[in-house]
Chains A and B, each alone.
Chain A
Amino acid sequence: MSLEIVVVHPDLLGTYGDGGNGVVLAQRARWRGIAAELVDATSGEALPTGDLYCLGGGEDAAQTASAERLRDEGALERAVGRGAVVLAVCAGYQILGTSFAGADGRAISGVGLLDVRTVKGNGRRAVGELLAEPADGRLPQLTGFENHGGLTIRGPDVAPLAEVAAGVGNGDGTEGAVFGRVIGTYLHGPALARNPALADLLLSWATGRRLEPLDDAEEAALREERIAAVRERRLRHRVRYELGSSS
């Protein structure tokens, strides 16, 4: 049996390199001897049946088009009902919520797989390194790059993925959302390239197996560097602030 990994609407939600999440999942499965099939499911065709679905970031008009298509089709909800695993990033995360703000600020209905809604932020886009401490203590720190204008408000039924250590995330000090086997996040990078432990968590959900560790030395080096870059920037800011206030 082969693991079916579906990258959802790369023609609409492929603007931020998040298609890499599918590549990471497929390779980490194959390197452990688990056959994996990576499928690019463009918006013009029916969403195929899969074990794992990845949604990425995209531009406003494309995000609306993708949400409408997924809502009309209903295939993603059915897949989740069957136990499929979903990782949705940025615009994809917002699409999985109950509603999000379109280009003109109007609320657009989402797929409703996560009890979150996203509203237009107050002006400045959140752009920069995002570092977050996962609610699930078994996962190490999450690192990535965020680039979004929305504020995401969680309903009572959905847990945050992590607490923000640096950056903006949802906008209330938390980052992302988890419900069952569905994860939404603002982490680009792509998320799974910078957080292989998160990739393995998704794979273990999808396969029901415990996975043996891989040699992730290069991922570890990248993580170390990005986490250090965030710390260094905060230190610089603090020094500037203290110098500024003493004068």
Chain B
Amino acid sequence: MATILGIESTCDETGASVVVDGYDVRSNVVASQVELHAKYRGVVPEIASRAHIENILPVIRESLGQAGRALANVDAIAVAHRPGLIGSLLIGVTAAKTLAWSLGKPLIGIDHVQAHLYSVMLEKNELPPLPAVGLVVSGGHTSLYRVNDWTDIHRLGGTIDDAVGEAYDKVSAILGLGYPGGPIIDKLAAEGDPNAVHFPRTLLGRESLDFSFSGLKTSVLYHVRGVPGKHHKSGVELNEQSRRDIAAGFQAACVDVIVKKLDRAVRKTRSRSVIVGGGVSANRGLRAALKEFRFPVLFPPMPYCTDNAAMSAGLADVLLRAGRTAPLDLDAITYSALT
């Protein structure tokens, strides 16, 4: 029975969590910096690393306090050391290495993308039918994976331009709405008519497992501001109803593309289930559409969709049992190990 302290600082969230046996989440603390970033439309690295420095020790202390554990009773320290923004990653990695060294406990380096896939195991401890197709969708990621088991994961495809979360953020900006765009558009879409405006679905050919959301973003822009050129068509007036309908039409296009790609990936890899992780996995439109999928679709419990440390502490249990600990000179790396 292993108790693992996990640390997360890959992007704009500072998180710490205590997880027992890879699924039993005793605490999951996230110091959200969203308010800070909303002013600046997104992740600003200088602000992010400064905030991580200020947050990291209080967040670790709080997670231990909530779990009722002293540092001495933790069996290992896990940290998401890739992929992410370098300045942000370094704060978590440095904290984790210092703790592991001073306590004489094993250090475990976690790939954040792999942890997003593992997040479906948290609380439920229910292994999906494997092999599975994994989808990680967030502000920075839109990728498909084949998951043979938690340590044997291969990338099948990904976005060739914008990540889906980024498209949500940019559409939110086009509609004159706030950041992050995901929850705002999801909420508006639920009140709009998805058939009022038709936006294109980019599938990149019959067999491709890659994504493209740039054209969809541009279509929304042209719909709102008008189509430039000699066949000039003026835009639409933005009001409550038109915003709802655009949001619904945009979300329907995103969801359609994701469902089609998942279907393709399952067929191509002869998989038995689908795992969805990352911030966009909280999207209600996507969850509703995948309810009728022909294979079981597993989503993480809501608190583990967005960036958190519990998924890293959970996956670390698997790696610890496999003897895959990290040296104390563990590096922060900007890209994922999954290829």
Partners in one complex: no
> Interface on A for B, CB 8 Å cutoff?
none
